[in-house]
Structure 1
Amino acid sequence: MSDAETTGTCPRQHRPPLHRVVVGEPGPPRPAELPDGSHAWLVSRHPDVRQVLSDARFRRSQLYEADAPSLSAVPDLVNNPDLMFNQDGSDHLRLRGTLRRAFTPRAVARWQPWIAAIVEECLDSLAGAEPPVDVVAAYTLPLPVRVISRLMGLDDEVRSRLRHWSEHAFSDGSHDGREVETVLAEFAEFGAGLLARRRREPGDDLISSVVRAADEEGGIPETQLVQLVCGLVVGGHDSTMTMLGNSLLYLLGERPECWERLGADEPAAEALAERLLHLMPLGDDRGTARHAAEDVEVGGVLIPKGSVVLADCFLANRDPDLFPDRPFDDLFAPLEGPGLAFGAGPHYCLGAWLARLELRLGLHRLAARFPGLRLAEPADGVQWRLGTTSRSPRRLTVTW
């Protein structure tokens, strides 16, 4: 099967796997449209995307001014103006500073033993089941939920509500707007309560460290801290669950010859995880928006002041000037250049090192413990988890 098949608009459930969704080719900045029909610019070449994501003249906060075009059909977490991702300059740095030390490569490396222990516990549970088994329900969902719950000190009652919150926080616009507002209000109430509890009874969890750092810094609005907490709760597990599910669909369905090496060679597993992060988007909507605060030239094209710019990291990661024409040929080869799976510039994903660790350990240990793992149903019959901006198998039945 081809490693790059262009697809058009598909029925909601009949969609190709995300590693085979390639729409268009990288090229100079060109006109595009936002969901409400407003004019925008699409930027897709690797150096152009890096410029837009790194240049302070392209901002997030101005996307939410009163006269700005709508980026979403319903209210969601991603487009909440109080979210850290939607802050710029000193406001962004002050809020990001509450987490700066928590997600460094050195800090994440210190978490590896207990994350590895959670992986093994999930694998023990999987091994005790009678195949065939839905690996989403048994592994790709509980693993990241348990990791983020341990990291943030969340109890079992909260864990059971994470998916409900995530589905509405990352709505793709298909939910009823009033329902989303209700769920997000409940979620924000939870976040505010969690912050209050950690102030009264601090511990060694991530939220307690955020509270301490924010109180030392001072001047950070409580609404921004609440959205920070909510973003960590849902973002901290949704993206890893999505990547694990899509990776297993691809590896077991199309690249079973890689499975043995993945389980036997941890350094090779690290390279494979990095390449999968590079090649697979989290969902179908790949453009991350910015607002041009002044006239800026990008790739030889003048982007006028006031324009909305969509930076397509997925197409940039397929830029033939930097990456090979057949990027799936050797999954264990190091990347040829800096990938954009986690963005770039001041909004580079803080959780990148944690996501890498969970994906690498999750795939490596699964392949090591289950060398004969295989799909129990045809890959082309997968039922997708839809309704959110991320997409992965809703069920993935495996046997061994």
Structure 2
Amino acid sequence: MPADGVPAWLVTCYRDVRQVLTDPRFTRDDLHAVGVDGANAEVIGNPESIFNLDGTDHRRLRVTVQRAFTPRAVETWRPWVAETVQHAVDALVAAGPPADLVAGFTRPVPFAVTSRLMGLGSPGGADEADVHRWTEAFLAAGDRGDGTAAELAEFTAFAADLIARRRRERGEDLVGRLVRTADEDGGIPETWLVQLVCGLLASGNDSASGSLGNALVYLLGERRDSWPSLADPGTAERATERLLHFIPLGDDETTTRRAVEPVELGGRVIPADAVVAVSINSANRDRAVFPDGLDDDLDAPLAAPTLAFSAGPHHCLGAWRVRLEMREALQRLATALPGLRLARPAEPVTWLLGRTTRSPERLPVTWA
């Protein structure tokens, strides 16, 4: 059963999980009505989040977002993402060892990308401390205190003001493009747009930072001999896909759906209105599909598409960004610092917990 305590069918194998995520007979609509609240995380638990919209409402908002995330726009963003990563690598090298890769690399790189992508550096923008506070509140799991509620109210007000300023000033950053396409398409409630901007800012920044930090913990701790090979762009790209696939970003084991009619799944019939909890982490480790697991050759392509970013209509909007940042970060960092290693390899990792993601709090490293 999910963390909420609602009885549910648990689905773990790759084929069945993929079916639930892509089959329109399984929906996120009305989950709140049966008591599933997404562990109280704002990005998951808010019914006006794109994560919880489904059917016609979801398609309308998704089309608007996809018009802002055009392939041409993404291609124009790629060069400066690479430049941002290289600037962070150069700064790390110039400062010299020892260093904390979290404070000096895995946090500042995604924030710099987020800042430029969403126009946070313009007048009325937000600094890294603001985004960090708001992200902590937005992704907090479990009970919320008054402090978290105040942070969320501040974050929502900032997003609403940012949207209003983009209507007045326009611009080619992501928020400007979203506002323009939403106004052209019409019918998008302002509260949906505010939640969308909050989600893209907090979740996009946190996912890129956390995924990179988790990958570096594994690479420098357990695959140190493979580290220099990541200087090859092709190897870095294939390794990125394997790392994102096998290393979960969070400890939340399931995502939930509701069956809108009886559905046969894995040889059993799921009754209408039943809640289904799918384990993406388990599906990505299904030995029937991925027999060699994470410890196989980092350069080996995956046997099937990863579900790390979900699948179907709720496939992660920022998957391109996380892949791009990790690939560029690993390749450029391995090129500049082939001798990079953990400064205290025997010391246990301290993890940032208490939210929907999990990543290292610090990562002390050194190099010759």
Shorter-normalised TM range: over 0.9
More deviation, 72-81/43-52: 72-81
Q: Which amino acid aligns with 2:253?
A: R
Q: CA 1:105–1:335 in structure 2 vs 1: closer, same or farther (change >3 Å)? A: farther
User: Could you tell me the TM-score, scaled by structure 2's length?
Assistant: 0.95
Partner Cα distance (1:182, 1:340) in 2:
34
Whole-Å Cα distance in 1 between the matches of residues 220 and 229 of structure 2? 13
Unaligned runs of 5+ in 2: none
Determine the C-alpha separation between the residues in 2 that align with 1:307 and 1:340. Answer: 23
TM-score with structure 1 length normalisation? 0.88
Post-superposition offset of 1:307: 1.5
**Structure with the larger helix share:** 2
| Cα root mean square deviation, aligned | 1.6
Distance 1:55 1:253 in 2: 39
- Structure 2: distance between partners of 1:371 and 1:113: 23
In structure 1, what is the equivalent of residue 77 of structure 2? 111
Q: 1:109 to 1:103 in 2, by over 3 A?
A: same
Q: How does 1:344-363 map to 2 (within 5 A)?
A: 344-363=311-330
Cα deviation, residue 120, structure 1: 1.3
In structure 2, the partner of 1:341 is 308
**How far apart, in 2, do the equivalents of 1:349 and 1:202 lie?**
26
CA distance in 2, matches of 1:113, 1:36: 43
Gap runs ≥5 in structure 1: 1-32
Conserved in 1, the CA contact under 8 Å of 2:287 and 2:293? Answer: no
Separation of aligned partners in 2, 1:376 and 1:110: 38
d(CA) in 2 for partners of 1:352, 1:190 = 25
Residue in structure 2 matching 1:258, options 226, 229, 250: 226
Instruction: State the Cα distance separating 1:380 from its structure 2 match.
Output: 4.8
User: Contact 1:247–1:276 (CA<8 Å) still a contact in 2?
Assistant: yes
SS for the counterpart of 1:213 is helix
Pick one of 161, 170, 179 that aligns with 1:211.
179
What is the identity, as a one-letter code, of the residue corresponding to 2:88?
Answer: C
**2:283 equivalent to 1:316:** yes
Query: Are the aligned partners of 1:131 and 1:399 in contact in 2 as well (CA < 8 Å)?
Result: yes
Q: 1:386-397 alignment to 2 at 5 Å?
A: 386-397=353-364
| Deviation by residue 1:377-398 (Cα, 9 ceiling, x = unmatched) | 1255111111111111100000
Post-superposition CA distance 1:334-388 (Å, at most 9, x none): 1111111111111111211121111100111011011111000125511111111
Alignment of 1:216-365 (within 5 A): 216-263=184-231, 265-365=232-332
- Deviation digits for residues 91-119 of structure 1 (CA, Å, limit 9, x no counterpart): 11111122214435554233221111111
Cα distance in 1 between the residues matched to 2:147 and 2:233: 44
**Which of 266-275 and 34-43 deviates more?**
34-43
User: What amino acid sits opposite 1:157 in the alignment?
Assistant: A
Distance 1:87 1:133, change over 3 A: same
**Residue in 2 aligned with 1:27?**
none
Q: For residues 92 and 73 of structure 1, what CA distance do their matches in structure 2 show?
A: 21
Partner of 1:123: 89
| Aligned twin of 1:64 | 32
Tell me if the contact between 1:253 and 1:379 (Cα under 8 Å) persists in the aligned partners.
Answer: no
- Aligned position for 2:130: 161
1:172 corresponds, among 131, 141, 146, to 141
**Whole-angstrom CA distance in 2 between matches of 1:72 and 1:337:** 28
User: Would the aligned equivalents of 1:98 and 1:209 in 2 still touch at CA under 8 Å?
Assistant: no
